[in-house]
């Protein structure tokens, strides 16, 4: 993941599940700063491949949210995020947390 600055708008947050999640009814990226409250962002499941830092994420296997507000990433320091994809009330897939850093 490339460097992210505090309050930066237009930054995509992407998480790869590694399996087809196109049938999910909702996809939520949960981002939690080291200090403070977790934030939930409604994510999309793109139907196109994307390469990030030399790693290809396959279509329908990852979710992304693009920051739209300065308040989305409002803490400088370490963060962690995970994806929660809901297929039904009893079928919910989640990833492990992925760590990233927000710079000043």
pLDDT of 2 over the 90 cut: no
- Nearest CA among 57, 27, 59 for reference residue 43: 27
Asked whether residue 43 is assigned to any structural domain, the reply reads: yes
Q: Domain range for residue 32?
A: 4-98
| 72 in a structural domain | yes
Q: How confident is the model at residue 3 (pLDDT cuts 50, 70, 90)?
A: confident
Residue 7, C-beta contacts closer than 8 angstroms, at least 6 positions apart: 70, 71, 73, 74
Determine, yes or no, domain membership for 24.
Answer: yes
Determine, yes or no, domain membership for 103.
no
- Is 104 part of a structural domain of the chain? no
Phi and psi, residue 92, nearest 5°: -125, 120
Q: How far apart are CA 68 and CA 87, in angstroms?
A: 26
The answer to whether the beta carbons of residues 22 and 48 sit under 8 Å apart is no
Put simply, whether the predicted model's pTM sits higher than 0.85 gets the answer yes
Note whether residue 57 is domain-resident: yes
- At 7-66, the pLDDT tens digits run 999 999 999 999 999 999 999 999 999 999 999 999 999 999 999 989 999 999 999 999
Is 13 a member of any domain?
yes
Q: What is the total count of domains within the chain? A: 1
Question: Which CATH number goes with the domain that contains 51?
Answer: 2.60.40
Cα torsion 33, 98, 87, 66 to 10°: value is: 70
């Amino acid at each position: 993941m490339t460097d992210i600055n505090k309050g930066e708008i237009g930054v995509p947050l992407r998480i790869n599940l590694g399996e087809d999640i196109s049938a999910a009814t909702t996809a939520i990226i949960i981002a939690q700063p080291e200090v403070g409250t977790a934030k939930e962002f409604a994510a999309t499941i793109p139907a196109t491949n994307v390469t990030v830092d030399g790693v290809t994420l396959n279509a329908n296997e990852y979710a992304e949210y693009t920051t739209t507000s300065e308040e989305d990433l409002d803490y400088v320091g370490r963060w962690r995020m995970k994806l929660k994809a809901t297929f039904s009330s009893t079928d919910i897939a989640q990833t492990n947390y992925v760590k990233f850093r927000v710079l000043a």
